[in-house]
Amino acid sequence: MISIKRLLFVTLLAISFSLHASDLAKEKRWADQVVDAILDGEAIWLNDGSSEFLGIYTEAEEDKGRAAIVMHGTGIHPDWQQVVQPLRVGLTEHNWNTLSIQMPILPNEAEYPEYAPLYDEVAPRINAAIEYLKKNGSKQIVLIGHSQGAAMTAYYLSTSKQNVSGFVAIGMASFADDPRMNSIKALEKIRLPVLDIYGDDDLEGIMKSVGARAEAAKKAGNKHYTQLEVAGSNHFFDGKEEELVEAVAGWLEKSPAK
């Protein structure tokens, strides 16, 4: 017979786990809204070892065996109209297959720092996406993240085996109070080609850390780190979607990530 103390411990453990895990019910609600509305690409379901999550795979106009995994920002979904959808569709015109994936999310009322425990759920999702792309013939894979999606990707690259050839960080946030969310520290460990792109009207924290990010890449000895500021752009590149796609595609063609 289970003691009251033991039962209380199990209950508290379950509550703690639920607080630290992605909100799967919210993920499902997003998926229900997104899947039927997809105009370009197809919905697929990937498995991170504990649950299934949504991805949107879009084939390139000419398949050259290369693909980009696109990761959204805080609390949204893989077909978000700002940044994510323009990239996942636009890059196919530059002969990159794209796979936009659902990142771990929290309820709407969650504060940014509360996302820290979810960073530990990122690697299984990116690894599942990489495995899917490889099975579909992609030999060259790059990671593209926006905002907190970029921060999550930086954490992944700084802590996991690198199975990719490049990283595009768009408006990458950094929250120094938790080491998992500290993108500047992550950049100190990343040596693969990086494009650090942001708008000249980006969020205050991103603008203030421009120099620190460049210094972190220098500390890593990363000779293939590039910063690019897009004129007239805010954090979401509203009205500058084409410029964003062209900038990313241009860097991919010229960089060692090619």
CA–CA gap between residue 29 and residue 130 (Å, rounded): 25
Query: How far is Cα of residue 12 from the mean position of the Cα atoms in its chain?
Result: 31
The CATH number of the structural domain formed by 23-254 is 3.40.50.1820
Judged against a pLDDT cut of 80, whether residue 4 lies above it is answered with no
Q: Kindly report the pTM of this predicted structure.
A: 0.91
Q: Write down the domain spans for the chain.
A: 23-254
- pLDDT of 25 above 90: yes
Tell me the pLDDT tens digit for each residue of 99-129.
999 999 999 999 999 999 999 999 999 999 9
174 neighbors 150 (Cβ within 8 angstroms): no
- Quick one: tokens of 7? 């039962």
Q: Which structure tokens are listed for 173?
A: 């946030």
> At a CB cut-off of 8 Å and minimum separation 6, what does 250 contact?
none
Dihedral over Cα of 26, 39, 89, 161: its sign? positive
**Residue 92 pLDDT:** 98
Question: 10 pLDDT exceeds 60?
Answer: no
The residue to which tokens 């002969």 are assigned: 95
pLDDT in tens, 165-204: 999 999 998 888 899 999 999 999 999 999 999 999 999 9
**32-38 own/partner pairs: CB under 8 Å, 24+ apart:** 33/77, 34/77, 34/78, 34/79, 37/79, 38/79
Report residue 251's pLDDT band, with 50, 70 and 90 as the boundaries. Answer: very high
